[in-house]
A and B are shown apart, each in its own frame.
Chain A
Amino acid sequence: MLLIHCPFCGPRSEIEFSYGGPAAPPRPDDPAQLSDADWVDWLTVPENRIGPVPERWCHSKGCGAWLTIVRDTRTHEILEVRHGA
């Protein structure tokens, strides 16, 4: 169980959080302008890296903040936590 340092609430247990998936690049402003292939790439091709990976977590049973967390998938070490993207 991870220990996540919420910038608003301090260190809290993983059970208070909801996982929001790996952090995607920013959503395109006008998806209609993208080619089909570019849209599919943005939507469905995650990196799945070994090592530090940015993820979204929501402190859903705490303050409700959506956080971006950089977590090392080998060690679970959390290298960075920030509010928002």
Chain B
Amino acid sequence: MAPERLTEGGRIDRRQVLRFRFDGREMTGHPGDTLASALLANGVRIVTRSFKYHRPRGIMGSGAEEPAALVALAGSAAQGNVVPTLLPLTEGLDVRSIHGWPSVRFDLGAVAGLVSRLIPAGFYYKTFMWPDWHLFEPAIRKAAGLAPAPDAAPEGRFETRNAHFDLLIAGAGPAGLMAALTAARAGARVMLVDEGTEAGGSLLARKIEIDGGPAMDWVARTVAELARLPNVTHLQQTTAWGWREHGLVMVQERAPGHPGLIERGWRVRARHVICATGAHERMLVFAGNDRPGVMLASAAQAYVNRWGVRPGQRAVVFANNSSAHEVARDLRAAGVELAAVIDSREGVEANDLPMRAGCQVLRSFGRMGLRGVEVAPRGGGGPERIACDLLAVSGGWNPAVHLHSQSRGSLRWDEGIAAFRPGCVAQSSASVGAADGQFGVADALRSGAQAVAAHLGVPVPDVPQVAKVPPYSIAPLWAVPGKGKSFVDLMNDVTLDDITLANREGYGAVEHAKRYTTAGMALDQGKTGNVNVIGILAGLQGKAPDQVGVTTFRAPYTPVSFGSIAGGKAGPSVLPFRHTPLTAWHMAEGAVMYEAGARWRRPGYYPRAGESFRQTVDREARAVREGVAIYDGAPLGVFAIEGPDALRLIEHACTARYGTLAPGMGRYGLMLTEDGLIFDDGVTFRLSQDRFVMSCSTGNAEAVALHLEKILQIDRPDWCVHVTNLTHQWMNATICGPLARLVLGRLTEMDLSTEAFPFMGLREGLVAGVPARAARVSFTGELSYEINVRPRDLPALWAALLKAGATEGIMPIGSEANHVLRVEKGFLSLAHEADGTVDPYDLGMGWAMARKKGDFIGLRSVLLRRASGRPRRELVGLMPEEPDTDTPEGAPITPGGQRIASEGLVTACVHSVSLGRRVGLALLVDGRARMGDVVQVRLPERCIAARVVAPVFHDPDGLRMRG
């Protein structure tokens, strides 16, 4: 058995041995141990080096409050910055200390003292004001960093759940259990969560009797009854770590007990929340209060009583309150020699204890761990040394108000317990037991029952009997002045001197002091130290603690894994792709797949053996210019707009005129925002008097649908019109190129002649035997038929088109070739030219503004902008002076190529198959007045000269697509 393990007692199973390693040393523990209790049982006193000063540190707490010890886990459970008091011991854990190099016992950082000189108080403020602070950051991170993130993903998976309960009870101590029992018996749907491995809270660590028997027997009976009730969900190792608006509580379940499942995150909506979160013991601030062997009194008590571990051979207890007296007795009962009980309060008596009332510990000593303390009466008098290897300290108790405070409930200072208590609630909730500052077990049981009974409107049940104990009493002792480092925040190495410095330098407001010193900003969030900081600042400023106030209690209450928040949303399932019915075909064909916006997957290009990227794209683009090709247009946004007011809606939302359209014909238009900027573009066809089909940009369908519905539901509820998003109901394959008519004619009875089916016409009929709407629109500048069919018919249509055009060499083309073709034509593309800053005139599309029809969305703002006469960026074509030089998309154009503010930017640049050279598009200030000029595209290392030309490089009159 481990050397410091007691032979009996505690809630561990000595029959079963768990092996683990700490820095390579083999150690053993038992089921029921935490990593912290197992380390202490094995006599490990130093588990880490501190963040800034590299001082040796040991375990000081027994739960979420742990202010000092952090370790890293290696192997399959690799994880950085683990709090050992919260981690249940399991077989095979591989534990590493952090910070120390080469080891925690001999650490070079501490010898050199380098790190502390790098990081004075106010470091973040002072350092970040330097002009080049970023130069120092990597070195500082390396020297002062915490454990690195593990290299590999953890084995297993995470998941999240949504749940709804009448009551969420946070904490399964006496108050929480009594609350849960009351609610469960009344039939309410209850979720009871507790961060520990087993229910009981403070009862686990104390020798208290309830109803004449051990308190844990009552806990066991209660837990068993809750387990029998179907309306109760009781989870241990589960933390309510954040409370958001509208009763949403974030819950992390760390041991879901399901194979392969690492953790489960819960998003719980609760009608009412009971905060039974207990209390945290405060540290005392004196010189050397961080020496390994100094421990919170409640932790020392928990180690002997709950885990059967002796945290020291000879103990001194140092407290400013009554709670530590019980600890002293429990330590003695466990065989620890009790050297002295130092109580800073005058006149405190306890005949059975070696009391020294009115005294304080001036400092601790011992090189690598505690050897003793120096004690003196507070009123003055010679110090005395007392040898000890355990100093159990208690600076009083803070109700754990975190959850209450996160819900935006207020806090009030209670002089009687020298702590902040919950004040008013902001959401439906109540704090009970120690979380409400009611530290007695009897009070906790009663308040838990009362709060639930009052909320549910049921009678208050009888509560179990607890033997009477003296009431809690405290006289604050915020700090013992003296030489040497007195820590207020151990994890971030913030000392009493740092707080004093912050106050002197004008950062005495509590929120400033926190940021200036980083007190309370470590993983423990200052659970044991923050109120000491407030008390110290109050003392320095001659105020009461409530006048100093508290810093915000932010979520998370304890460290939370990203996995439990993200759940299954890892990898591609974060944002699932959308596939067209042809995705599998494209991939089988070897297409390089792109995302075409809104997670649509579409082929970028179809490389053939031996081809370069350029050769592939040129081949595909040339097929459209010279022969025939098809592309998958399935993701195109499509809407049916129907009803007596359909025309009004379309003319209100789009720039063009549609009232003059004959059925079976369409017109291109722009959709503007009310501030007169281009939001989308597309073609709208009239099917009959009151029925239209509108298309919009790929990937923008959801935004357009929202926009149209907002008009109809908010602004014009009187209009009779239905907008139906058909994006997923009609999908197209588009056949394009001068031979498109010839090939398509083999698959349909429709009359494809220009007279019967002109440009911008839409015809319904059978194509390849399936019902289709064929539309003569062109995004490539060539003769083009967009064949819209039901999604299930698309693969058959696609196959038929390929077969029908085989002799003409028909081929599929991807978005790269499409991009080349549209740039050659100067057609706008959303997010390239229409980047959210341009209006129709900027793109030379004033012709699309049907001003005669009257007002439409965006018109007023466009006219206002044009009336100002200010220069605008206008769409132009670019011809790089060197024909094969690329002007990268997004590159700025600056006056004379100087490194000054840009006068425009390149929006696209492609290798034109029509011209056999690179051509581009750009937005250029006053661009249309600068045709023929040479501008400079500014790259980081050089400039590229390019001539400004009209933004069309192929068939300027559009004869080919109309033919």
- Interface on A for B, CB 8 Å cutoff? 1-3, 13, 18, 20, 26-27, 30-32, 34, 36, 39-40, 43-44, 56, 58, 60, 64-66, 68, 75-76, 78, 83-85
- Tell me the complex Cα distance, A1–B244, Å: 7
In the assembled complex, the CB of B713 is this many whole angstroms from the nearest CB of chain A, namely 4
Beta-carbon contact of B248 and A85 below 8 Å: no
Q: In the complex, which residue of chain B has the Cβ closest to the Cβ of A31?
A: B860
Alpha-carbon distance between A35 and B408 when the two chains are bound, in angstroms: 45
Do B674 and A85 touch (CB < 8 A)? no
With contact pairs A3-B248, A32-B860 given, residues A27 and B715 touching in the complex (Cβ less than 8 Å): yes
* Residues A66 and B855 in contact, CB atoms below 8 Å apart: no
Q: Is there a chain A Cβ closer than 8 Å to B929's Cβ? A: no
- When chains A and B are docked, how far (Å) is the Cα of A18 from the Cα of B717? 19
- Complex Cα gap A65–B710 (Å): 9
Q: What is the distance, in angstroms, from A10's C-beta to the closest C-beta of chain B?
A: 12
Q: Which residues of B contact A2 (CB under 8 A)?
A: 245-246
B864 touches A39 (CB 8 A): yes
- CB neighbours of B888 from chain A (8 A): none
What is the chain A residue whose CB lies nearest that of B856? Answer: A31
> Roughly how many angstroms separate A34 CA and B674 CA in the complex, as a whole number?
15
Q: Using Cβ atoms and an 8 Å threshold, which residues of chain B touch A32? A: 855, 860
CA distance A30 to B706 in the complex (A): 23
Having A1-B267, A84-B717, A85-B714, one finds 6 other A-B pairs with CB under 8 Å, namely A1-B246, A3-B246, A20-B714, A39-B860, A58-B709, A75-B245
9 A-B pairs whose Cβ atoms sit less than 8 Å apart in the complex: A2-B246, A3-B245, A3-B246, A44-B675, A58-B709, A60-B702, A66-B710, A85-B714, A85-B715
* A3 CB, nearest partner CB in chain B, Å: 4
Q: Which residues of B contact A39 (CB under 8 A)?
A: 860-861, 864
Report the Cα distance A32→B715, complex, angstroms.
18
Q: Closest 8 A-B residue pairs measured CB to CB?
A: A31-B860, A76-B245, A66-B713, A3-B246, A85-B714, A66-B714, A84-B717, A1-B248
- Across the interface, A26 reaches (CB within 8 A) one of B426, B702, B715, namely B715
A60 touches B706 (CB 8 A): yes
Expressed in whole angstroms, the minimum distance between the Cβ of A58 and any Cβ of chain B is: 6
Is B859 in contact with chain A by the CB < 8 A criterion? yes
User: Measured between alpha carbons, how far is A66 from B408 in the docked complex, in Å?
Assistant: 30
Question: When the two chains form their complex, are residues B855 and A43 in contact, meaning their CB atoms are under 8 A apart?
Answer: no
Q: What residues on A are CB-neighbors of B715 within 8 Å?
A: 26-27, 85
- Closest chain B residue to A78, Cβ basis: B246
In the complex, are the beta carbons of B714 and A56 less than 8 A apart?
yes
B269 touches A3 (CB 8 A): yes
Collect the chain A residues with CB atoms within 8 Å of residue B269's CB: 3
Interface residues of B in 481-497 (CB under 8 A from A): none
User: How many residues of chain B get a CB closer than 8 Å to chain A's CBs?
Assistant: 26
Which of B426, B674, B860 is packed against the most chain A CB atoms within 10 Å?
Answer: B860
Which residues of A lie under 8 Å from residue B581 when comparing CB positions? none
A2-B246, A76-B246 are known contacts. Are A43 and B717 too (CB-CB below 8 A)? no
Query: Residue B675 contacts which of A43, A56, A64 (CB distance < 8 angstroms)?
Result: A43
Neighbour of A58 across the interface among B675, B706, B855, B867, CB < 8 A: B706
Provide the bound-state CA to CA distance between A36 and B864, in Å: 7
Q: Report the separation of the CA atoms of residues A57 and B582 in the bound assembly, to the nearest whole angstrom.
A: 35
Q: Which residues of B contact A3 (CB under 8 A)?
A: 245-248, 269
Bound together, the chains give a CA A84 to CA B408 distance in angstroms of 31
Question: Contact at B717–A31, with CB atoms within 8 Å?
Answer: no
A56 to B711 Cα, complex, angstroms:
12
How many angstroms from the CA of A2 to the CA of B269 in the assembled complex? 10
B residues in contact with A85, CB < 8 Å = 714-715, 717
The smallest C-beta distance from A7 to any residue of chain B, in angstroms, reads 12
- How far does the Cβ of A51 sit from chain B's closest Cβ, in whole Å? 15
**B binding-site residues for A, Cβ under 8 Å:** 162, 244-248, 267, 269, 408, 426, 674-675, 702, 706, 709-710, 713-715, 717, 855, 859-861, 864, 867
The answer on a CB contact under 8 Å between B248 and A84 is no
* Chain B residues whose CB sits within 8 angstroms of the CB of A18 once the complex forms: 706
CB-CB under 8 A from A75, the residues of chain B are 245, 408, 426
Is B248 in contact with A66, judged by CB distance below 8 angstroms? no
**Complex Cα–Cα for A84 and B710 (A):** 8
A85→B867 CA distance, assembly (Å): 32
CB-based nearest A residue for B164 = A11
Across the interface, do B245 and A58 meet the contact criterion of CB distance under 8 Å? Answer: no
Contact pick for B710, options A1, A13, A20, A44, CB 8 Å: A20
The distance from the CB of B785 to the nearest CB of chain A, in whole angstroms, is: 33
Q: State the CA gap A35–B860 with chains docked (Å).
A: 10
Q: Which residues of A contact B246 (CB under 8 A)?
A: 1-3, 76, 78
Residues of B within 8 A of A68 (CB): 714
CB distance from A28 to the nearest CB of B (A): 9
Whether B861 contacts A43 by the Cβ 8 Å rule is yes
A21-B277 Cα distance, complex, nearest whole Å: 38
CB-based nearest B residue for A3: B246
Docked CA distance A20–B269 (Å):
25
| Bound: A55/B494 CA distance, A | 45
Cβ-closest chain A residue relative to B408: A75
CB-defined contacts of B702 to chain A, threshold 8 Å: 60
List the A residue with the shortest CB-CB distance to B675: A43
By CB atoms of chain A within 10 A, which of B269, B714, B859 has the most? B714
Smallest distance from the beta carbon of A12 to chain B beta carbons, Å? 11
Shortest distance in angstroms between A50's beta carbon and chain B's nearest beta carbon? Answer: 15
For residue A68, which residue of chain B has the nearest CB? B714
Question: Nearest CB to that of A36 among chain B residues?
Answer: B864
Q: How far apart are the CA atoms of A64 and B345 in the complex, in Å?
A: 67
Q: How far is the CB of B764 from chain A (nearest CB, A)?
A: 28
- Whether the Cβ atoms of A64 and B709 lie closer than 8 Å is yes
Name A1's contact: one of B245, B408, B709 (CB within 8 Å).
Answer: B245
Cα–Cα distance between A30 and B856 once the two chains are bound (Å): 9
Q: Which residues does chain A contribute within 8 Å of B861, judged by CB atoms?
A: 39, 43
Q: How far is the CA of A66 from the CA of B723 in the complex (A)?
A: 14
Q: How far apart are the CA atoms of A60 and B245 in the complex, in Å?
A: 21
Closest A residue to B716 by beta carbon equals A27
Distance of A77 Cα from B810 Cα, bound (Å): 61
Contact residues in B for A58 (Cβ distance below 8 Å): 706, 709-710
Inter-chain contacts of B714 with A (CB < 8 A): 20, 56, 66, 68, 84-85
B672 to chain A: closest CB distance in Å? 13
Quote the shortest CB–CB distance from B389 to chain A (angstroms).
50
- Asked if residues A31 and B859 are in contact (CB atoms below 8 Å), the reply is yes
CB-defined contacts of B859 to chain A, threshold 8 Å: 31
The residue of chain B having its C-beta at the shortest distance from the C-beta of A71 within the complex is: B245
Chain B residues with CB below 8 A from A60, complex form: 702, 706
Query: Most chain-B Cβ atoms within 10 A of its Cβ — which of A3, A26, A44?
Result: A3
Closest beta carbon of chain A to B131's beta carbon, Å:
35
Nearest CB on A from B343, distance (A): 44
Contacting A84 at CB < 8 Å: which of B162, B247, B706, B713?
B713
Report the Cα distance A31→B855, complex, angstroms. Answer: 7
With the chains together, A68 CA to B244 CA distance in Å? Answer: 22
- Shortest B133–chain A CB gap in Å is 34
Residues in A whose Cβ lies below 8 Å from that of B408? 75
A11 to B90, CA, bound (A): 42
Report the minimal beta-carbon distance from B874 to chain A, rounded to whole angstroms.
23
Name the CB-closest residue of A to B707.
A20
- With the chains together, A60 CA to B704 CA distance in Å? 12
The complex places the Cα of A1 from the Cα of B248 at a distance, in Å, of: 7
- Is the pair A56, B860 in contact by a Cβ cutoff of 8 Å? no
- Of chain B, the residue at the smallest CB distance from A83 is B713
In the assembled complex, which residues on chain B have CB atoms less than 8 Å from the CB atom of A13? 162
| Bound-complex Cα distance A60 to B703 (A) | 10
- With the chains together, A17 CA to B955 CA distance in Å? 46
CB contacts (< 8 Å) of B717 on chain A: these are 84-85
Chain A nearest Cβ from B575, distance in angstroms: 14
Distance to closest chain A CB from B869 (angstroms)? 13
Q: How far is the CB of B852 from chain A (nearest CB, A)?
A: 13
Complex: how many Å from CA A40 to CA B247?
Answer: 40
Using CB atoms, name the residue of chain A closest to B703. A18
Asked if B855 contacts A30 (CB within 8 A), the reply is yes
In the complex, which of the residues A1, A13, A31 has the most CB atoms of chain B within 10 Å of its own CB atom?
A: A31
Q: Give chain B residues whose Cβ lies under 8 Å from the Cβ of A31.
A: 855, 859-860
B859 CB to closest chain A CB (Å) equals: 7
